[in-house]
Amino acid sequence: MDKQTVFKGQGSVLTVKDNKITIKHGKRRQFADKTKPIIEVDITDIDSVVMIKPGITSGYFYLLRKGHSIGTLSKLYILGDEYAVALQFKPHYNNFLKAKALMEEQLISLQDHTKADVSEASRLYNTLLINEEKTLTFNGQTGNLIISLTSLTFEYNRLHAGASDKKTISIDKISGISLSKPGFSSGKIKINYEGFQRRGFGTLKTDENEIWISTISQYNSLLILKDLIEIIQSSADHVSDSNLSLSSADEIRKYKSLLDDGIISEEEFENKKQELLR
């Protein structure tokens, strides 16, 4: 039997699927101010779920987002928030307990995937470390991102509305990376870097630091790219701070360890060894 993913409250329907939460409000829902009939939020953006049992008046199921506080908000105010689902009867409340459990289950699963992504990013970092001229390509909807040990290249395609051809930046100039998952609309990866300037509001063109994402596969792949960039930056900072240089013997030991772990081949090890002994 399929697990329940759709939960009906008083005038609203909540869906938990693919690590996203969607609330669709009916026309009869009354709000304190203007709000969207459909809202969507990533499960990782939720700080906690607040639930109040119905009694003489309706209870609620409330998504408290990260960076927000319930503080001294009144029950009436919360029921007028777009991130709340009213629970009129006890069966509503019991049903939404299942929604809360499903969210927690998906969050744990997502954390496990994140650990796997970091492991994959570490493997790719070692690949770049062995061959400093090697590049890796990550695909998006409006272009590709090509990474080496020192640089990141935006390779735009005809779907990109704000840039053409290519743009290369140094990895040490990257100041932040944000990712949004595709849902009702395309997701995107946005890479902020030193010297970048937004186009500003009122333009239909896409910023050149953005690549749109159309599939979950692209999103998961770009999560690995994000981890890989952070590993490269962290390793570069460590080398800079320690101001240490490895001897040839230390370098050979490092590559021998990679060979023993099956990360590089015998041929690659011998080539590096001969290069270091010259």
| pLDDT surpassing 50 at residue 1 | no
Written in H, E and C, the secondary structure of the chain is: CCCCCEEECCCEEEEEECCEEEEEECCCCCCCCCCCCEEEEEHHHEEEEEEECCCCCCEEEEEEECCCCCCCCCHHHHHCCCCEEEECCHHHHHHHHHHHHHHHHHHHHHHHHHHHHHHHHHHHHHHHHHCCCCCEEEECCCEEEEECCCEEEEEECCCCCCCCCEEEEEHHHEEEEEEECCCCCCEEEEEEECCCCCCCCCCCCCCCCEEEECCHHHHHHHHHHHHHHHHHHHHHHHHHHHCCCCCHHHHHHHHHHHHHCCCCCHHHHHHHHHHHHC
Residues 65, 103: one domain?
yes
125-149 per-position pLDDT tens digit: 888 888 888 999 999 999 999 999 9
Residues 33, 74: one domain?
yes
**pLDDT for the residue 201:** 44
Residues 180, 122: one domain?
yes
Instruction: Point out the domain boundary residue: 107, 134, 164.
Output: 107
50-70 per-position pLDDT tens digit: 899 998 889 999 988 877 777
The model's confidence at residue 272, banded by pLDDT at 50, 70 and 90, is confident
Domain total in the chain: 2
Residue 1 lies in a domain: no
Residues 95, 192: one domain?
no
More confident residue, 271 or 238: 271
Which range among 164-178, 198-212, 247-261 shows the weakest confidence by mean pLDDT? 198-212
The model's confidence at residue 263, banded by pLDDT at 50, 70 and 90, is confident
Domain that holds residue 122: 110-277
pTM confidence score = 0.49
